[in-house]
């Protein structure tokens, strides 16, 4: 049985979940409290992080390496453009979200509000919350600027770049930290991606102690 060891509100796990679902690869989702560093889990992934994918008996870690593998092993439906310039742009945007956006926004909002409490590390730091709330505006504007020129983030087709961005934004939307009224183009993009069958499992997520707002799973938000 294929398994994904994950936590529901991890953008890196969600990016892999979206890739798996889009490619119709079925996996059993197993929640893993990776911060407890259970010895069995550490054997599966010495990096001690989620996601960890058990696929055809093999253990895999590092979300982008997994997604590149899924694409190479299951090229249809594809999540990567054909042209090498477009592929570069896709990888640049994936890195933008997983590195810069993660550092400036996700870690400042989601980790302060949710992860700290789950891991028993105390209360949110209001300075970080303020920084994250300020930075997300700039990122939404940047996305809007890109999406005014292209149908999807990396070009004419939906790619892993859209999944990386949607993975972060959907986690933040779960805690009501995305102002969808800021940019109509970004909202339209999210509505398109949210309505895909691959997104269903993510919209059904429920984290104990953190009920999602009503608009979270609403396709007409």
Name the residues that contact a copy of itself, by CB under 8 A: 46-47, 49, 58, 60-62, 64-66, 68-69, 72-73, 84-85, 87-88, 91-92, 94-96, 99-100, 142
Q: Is-contact 3 27, C-beta < 8 A?
A: yes
Shortest CB 87 distance to a copy of itself, Å: 7
Whichever of 107 and 201 has its CB closer to a copy of itself, that residue is: 107
> Smallest distance, Å, CB 160 to a copy of itself?
12
Q: How far is the CB of 143 from a copy of itself (least distance, A)?
A: 12
Is residue 154 within 8 A of residue 161, CB to CB? The reply is yes
Q: In the complex with a copy of itself, which residue's Cβ is closer, 142 or 210?
A: 142
Give φ, ψ of 159 to 5 degrees: -135, -175
CB 23 within 8 A of CB 196: no
Least gap, CB of 31 to a copy of itself (angstroms): 22
Q: How far apart are CA 47 and CA 41, in angstroms?
A: 10
Angle subtended at Cα 151 by Cα 147 and Cα 152, rounded to the nearest 5 degrees: 75
Closest CB to a copy of itself among residues 66, 175: 66
Cβ–Cβ contacts within 10 Å for residue 140, how many?
20
The nearer residue to a copy of itself, 142 or 180, going by C-beta atoms, is: 142
Q: Is the CB of 101 or the CB of 216 nearer to a copy of itself?
A: 101
CB of 82 to a copy of itself, least distance (A): 11
- How far, in Å, CA of 101 to CA of 36, rounded? 26
């Amino acid at each position: 049985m294929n398994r994904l060891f994950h936590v529901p509100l991890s953008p890196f796990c969600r990016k892999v979940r979206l890739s798996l679902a889009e490619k119709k690869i079925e996996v059993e989702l197993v929640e893993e409290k990776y911060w407890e560093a259970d010895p069995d889990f550490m054997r599966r992934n010495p990096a001690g992080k989620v996601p960890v994918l058990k696929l055809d008996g093999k253990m895999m870690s590092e979300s982008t390496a997994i997604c590149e593998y899924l694409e190479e092993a299951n090229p249809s439906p594809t999540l990567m453009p054909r042209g090498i310039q477009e592929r570069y742009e896709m990888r640049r945007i994936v890195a933008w979200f997983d590195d810069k956006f993660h550092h400036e926004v996700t870690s400042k909002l989601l980790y302060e509000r949710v992860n700290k409490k789950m891991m028993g590390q105390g209360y949110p730091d209001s300075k970080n919350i303020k920084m994250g709330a300020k930075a997300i505006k700039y990122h939404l504007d940047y996305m809007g600027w890109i999406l005014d020129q292209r149908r999807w983030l990396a070009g004419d087709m939906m790619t892993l770049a859209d999944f990386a961005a949607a993975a972060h934004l959907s986690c933040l939307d779960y805690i009501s930290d995305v102002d969808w009224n800021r940019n109509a183009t970004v909202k339209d993009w999210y509505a398109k991606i949210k309505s895909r069958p691959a997104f269903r499992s993510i919209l059904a997520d429920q984290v104990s102690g953190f009920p999602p707002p009503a608009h979270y799973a609403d396709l007409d938000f």
